[in-house]
Structure 1
Amino acid sequence: MTDVLILGAGPAGAAVALGLQRLGFGVRLVSEWRRFAAVEGVSQRVLEGLRQAGLSQALASAAAPSPRRVQWNGEGQSINQECLLDRPRFDAALRDDLRQAGIEVLEARVLKVESGDSGHRVQLDGGEVLSADFLVEARGRSAPLAGGRLRGPETLSLLNQWRDAPGRPGSAVESLPDGWAWMARLDDGRCYWQITLDAAARDLPPRDLLADYCAQRRRQSSLVSELFGDAALQAASLHARSSTAILFHEASGPNWLRVGDAAMAVDPLSGNGIFQSLSSALQAPAVINTLLRNPERAELARRFHQRRVEHLFHRFARTGRDFYALEQRWPDQPFWRERSTWPDAEPLHAEADIGRLRVERAPVIQGDLIEEREVVITADQPLGVWHLDGTELAPIVRALQAGRLGEALAGLAPEARRKVQGWLLAQGYRP
């Protein structure tokens, strides 16, 4: 039997595979190639996540930073940059990283998964049946939607692609009365434009007329005219996909785990999908290692994974909500009204309050396992902070609350003391 079988070789599946291999597990991946070409704009934190995961070939596939224009709430800006990722090239680089690590990637489509307490049987389209002790679901939004889940406003994205003359790369985003559009051109002339709308929009035409509909929308945009040539005004190839935010209430079981978009998928305006995929995948090897090698801590490991998946989801969802709320020209339009208030009214960042610090026991990553330790709960870190560059914070906070902070700080090395004092000040401590 294969020790661990991972379904999906995107950034989440690849990061989990490399992490598990380093822990000594036998790993095998099953993945289809992406069914449509796409490009994504990513930030430096995504590149750092790829570096941390050991995905060096995927990291090298990113283009150099290029300018991004923003037209939002009637105002235009050109103050930041993003790195464009050609997804076909990026996906091939992910497979190169896996092959260089000696991890097998089987190109096949999964037809059926049968799971039970004793393991999993996965039937592939070529007739082969694989068995595994542990299963990782990393097929992104295409993963089966079994189980309870929270869904955001139903959202549809229409992606168009065409080719123009080679030129300077760049990207842009603009708000529209009924949605928003993101667009990019690569230096080899490939062009992408995606409009995101409410899935129940009344003026959407039948599927066979969507390409013409998108071309008409592009003709109405001055930003499209500036970024692309005349080819952007014609009908182009089209791929329709759901962009609805989804959070699974159960992201793990005794012998399975959901990671990346298969655990929680966010609205594309909320944050880069690759970043959130890596965020949940980088913690997964320690969770799986605990489930398989320390089953007595299974509940603790699963709670750790679920809490962090939910925390990431709500952080990204609130980021998207605040971006939507910045567009105030069409407050009565259903698209903007629903998304500017979802998922809740909680602030993205809570104000620091030294009086709200408290110490609790919670699951943390210790080495390659999940353990329970004392952490400090803050206004902005509801999951708790265990240590600051190796200095445990719970004893510091207990000393503060007991009026013995000076004594606790005196026992630290100068550099550690300076960092802890800075952290306390950031939490609202005023000596």
Structure 2
Amino acid sequence: MSAPRILVLGAGPAGAAVALGLKRLGYGVRVVSEWRRFAAVEGVSQRVLDGLRQAGLIKAGACVNAASARRVNWNGITQGFNQEFLVDRPTFDAAIREDLHAAGIGLVEARVRSTESSACGHQLQIEPGTRLHADFLVEARGRQAPLGGRRQRGPETLSLLNQWQAEEGSPASAVESLSDGWAWMARLSDGRCYWQITLDAGANDLPSKEQLADWCAVRRGQSSLVRELFGAQALHPATVHARSSTATLFHEVAGTNWLRVGDAAMAVDPLSGNGIFQSLSSALQAPAVINTLLQRPERAELARRFHQQRVEQLFLRFARTGRDFYAMEQNWPEQAFWQSRCRWPDAEPMHAAADFSQVRVQRAPVIRGDLIEEVEVVITPDQPLGIWHMQGIELAPLLRALRAGAGVDEVLDRVAPERRAMLRAWLGAQGCAI
């Protein structure tokens, strides 16, 4: 039987992570991607850099700028708030392609014009008219991916990204709340400056496309934080790129011969968390899901359920994080922008209260090696998908022993001494009397 032909659409962090993971599993894989159509910069955290290394995106991680100061003006309070690493996306995207080439993964620089899919495979037509064939397709084109299928959408949101060139200087970034939205801004050491305002897409006071640059310049002029970070040059009109930043979750992110990852599976409000991190979170699990679909078809439903559940849980976590940030802003409680976002997607707490009586054992899909397998996990109020093990110690047998009447000390005596303090602390965090 011939090896399956796998195509990954999109060479962003998600698509590249999947391609590299499949390559490590011995699959032949090609990536199809066009270049990003606009320049951008993003702020990322240390966990993103860790995720890039885990995915094998070494060159991409190395091109991230050193940590820079970040200021936050929220709810009338201005303060320094940690640091963030600024990512110049054109440089970053080029480095991702270098990582793919270094791994021996073929990259087709083209735009996909059409896709025809069936149970037998996928036929793609790419510019300028070439046809490609695949047995398995990974959709990783981010928010630009085709929007077929049912989706859950958050409040309709629009972001206007402005860019201009200034003098060289120290890199820095800032975020501030506004009466009708919020703005994120950054300056790179080479003098490139970015300012992005995020608004309700249905706002009736937005100007025409031709007037956006002037309108954005006026908005920047109203901000003391902008003047402090950029100087007077920021008050002039600049290049504007408009894009949707509405939170979106697809209700079906896996099939028998296809998979959605990254923003193509679920995209979050930019205030909810870093887009690169959530893209990597869903992509790092994808090779094991795909490997199971191809090598263990009897587990296909289990693999799809694993991917769907984790994408949905990740989406809810980011959405609730954004909701709580929006709720912290109390200066404009009557403004529609803030009202709709501080209540979405639900009223459930970010972290459920500990309740040991609700902790139970249940069978659920997990990643074991390079495949998805069903095992016994421990379900807690705050971990509804379950925890299989901690540092190699399976939790289900320990919980069963406790439920059968064994004492905590008796149960912990069954594990290595160096693991006991960790497990005791975990049991205490779940509400167990220790």
Task: Map Cα deviations across residues 320-341 of structure 1 (whole Å, 9 max, x no partner).
Answer: 0000000011111000000000
The answer on whether the counterparts of 1:2 and 1:28 sit within 8 Å (CA) in structure 2 is no
Instruction: Show the counterpart of 1:411.
Output: 414
Aligned mates of 1:145, 1:424 — CA distance in 2: 43
Q: Distance in 1 between matches of 2:331 and 2:220?
A: 20
Looking at structure 1, the residues matched to 74 and 91 of structure 2 have their Cα atoms a distance apart, in angstroms, of: 31
Matching residue of 2:180:
178
Q: What CA distance in whole angstroms lies between the structure 2 residues aligned with 1:357 and 1:176?
A: 43
Equivalences for residues 68-217 of structure 1 within 5 A: 68-217=70-219
More displaced, 33-42 or 406-415?
Answer: 406-415
Alignment-derived partner of residue 251 in structure 1: 253
- Residue 2 of structure 1: how far off its partner (Å): 6.1
Look up the equivalent residue of 2:98 and give its one-letter code: D
Within 5 A, what are the aligned runs for 1:27-426?
27-405=29-407, 406-426=409-429
Q: Post-superposition shift, 1:408?
A: 2.7
Q: What is the CA–CA distance in structure 2 between the aligned matches of 1:408 and 1:328, rounded to whole Å? A: 48
Rounded to whole Å, the distance in 1 between the matches of 2:406 and 2:5 is 51
**CA shift for structure 1 position 416:** 2.1
User: Residues of 1 paired with 2:9 and 2:331: CA distance?
Assistant: 43
Cα distance in 1 for partners of 2:354, 2:65 equals: 38
Deviation of 1:418 after TM superposition, in Å, equals 2.3
For the residues of structure 2 that align with 1:419 and 1:45, how far apart are their CA atoms?
22
Equivalent-residue separation in structure 2 for 1:416 and 1:75 (angstroms): 43
Q: Aligned partners of 2:245, 2:233: CA distance in 1, in Å? A: 26
Q: Which runs of at least 4 in structure 1 moved beyond 6 Å after TM superposition?
A: none
Question: Normalized against structure 1, the TM-score is what?
Answer: 0.99
> Equivalent residue of 2:339, what SS?
helix
Kindly indicate whether the alpha-carbon contact (under 8 Å) linking 1:287 and 1:301 is maintained by their aligned counterparts in 2: yes
1:223 positional shift: 0.3
Determine the structure 2 residue equivalent to 1:428. Answer: 431
Deviation at 1:173, TM superposition (A): 0.2
3-state DSSP of counterpart to 2:96: helix
Could you say what secondary structure the match of 2:320 adopts?
helix
Q: Secondary structure at the match of 2:14?
A: helix
The amino acid that maps onto 2:294 is L
Q: How has the CA–CA distance of structure 1 residues 128 and 343 changed in structure 2, closer, same or farther, with 3 Å as cutoff?
A: same
Alpha-carbon distance in 2 for matches of 1:352, 1:3: 47
Identity %: 71
Aligned partner letter, 2:86: L
Q: CA deviation at 1:231?
A: 1.4
Superposed displacement of residue 79, structure 1: 3.2
Q: Matched residues in 1 for 2:341 and 2:81: separation?
A: 25
Out of 24, 27, 47, the position equivalent to 1:25 is 27
Distance 2:81 2:173 in 1: 12
| Residue type at the aligned position of 1:382 | P
What are the superposed Cα offsets for residues 47-71 of structure 1, whole Å, 9 maximum, x if unpaired? 1100111110000010000000000
- Aligned to 1:145, the other structure's residue is in SS state coil
The alignment covers a number of residue pairs equal to 431
Q: Which string of whole-angstrom CA distances, capped at 9 and with x for unpartnered residues, describes residues 59-89 of structure 1?
A: 0010000000000000011131000000000
Cα pair 1:69 1:78 within 8 Å, conserved:
yes
Is contact 1:2–1:131 with CA below 8 Å preserved after alignment?
A: no
Gaps of 5+ in 1: none
Cα distance 1:208–1:2, how it changes in 2: closer, same or farther (>3 A)? Answer: farther
Deviation at 1:428, TM superposition (A): 1.5
Instruction: Tell me: CA distance 1:233–1:2, structure 2 relative to 1, closer, same or farther (3 Å).
Output: farther
TM-score normalised to the size of structure 2?
0.98
CA positional deviation for 1:395? 0.7
The 3-state SS of whatever aligns with 1:254 is coil
For 2:155, give the aligned amino acid. Answer: P
Distance 2:413 2:277 in 1: 39
Q: Which amino acid aligns with 2:347?
A: A
- Partner-residue secondary structure (3-state), 1:89: helix
Q: In the TM superposition, what is the alpha-carbon distance from 1:410 to its structure 2 partner?
A: 1.7
What is the alpha-carbon distance in structure 1 between the residues aligned to residue 354 and residue 53 of structure 2? 32
- 1:423 partner letter: W
